[in-house]
Amino acid sequence: MDKEKENILNFFYTNLDTLANINDCDKLFIDSNNMIKIDEPYMFQGIWRYCNNISRKDTMHVINKLLNDIEIYFNAIYIKNLDSKNTLVNKTVKFNENDKINYVALTTIIQKLDKSIKGIENLQKTYSTDIETCIGLNKIIEKTKSLSNNFSKMI
């Protein structure tokens, strides 16, 4: 696997793992490398977040972007496979064990998407009094489930 592809997949995996590990009362922030990080509760957390301009809307935007990037990445590979097999009419090409690198990457992403849902649900509990954020997080959960379901159909 080339280095760029490996870096992209590691970025996806690491961020999804972080989402999966969110506990109730945890908040998130984005580091300088656009990596999602857990901000566990502590005294003066609100002041630190305010002073560093860390908002839940920005974090939700980054989560949405992560999911969109994952969708685009794997759909592009899928379309490339369709094109290379000249089966656009058939549309039954699936990732399989013959395409081991993409098969493993896709099955890993599906597992990590599924695990991330629990963490996002915990984030919803953290922001239970903020209706707008909860609605946004619910949309993220639905998108995550949809991606997992659609990717499962590719294998």
Is it the case that residue 13 has pLDDT exceeding 80?
A: yes
Write down the pLDDT at residue 14: 98
Residue with tokens 């993409």: 102
**pLDDT range class, residue 143, cuts 50, 70, 90:** very high
Q: Which domain holds residue 8?
A: 3-152
> H helices within 52-130, ranges in order?
56-84, 100-126
Dump pLDDT digits (tens) for 123-132. Answer: 999 999 999 9
Dump pLDDT digits (tens) for 50-82. Answer: 667 667 888 899 999 999 999 999 998 888 777
Give CA separation, 75 vs 2, 70, 122, 140, 146, in Å: 19, 8, 29, 19, 13
Find the CATH number of the domain harbouring 83: 1.20.1050
Q: What does pLDDT average to over the chain?
A: 86
- Give the global pTM: 0.85
Q: How many domains does the chain have?
A: 1
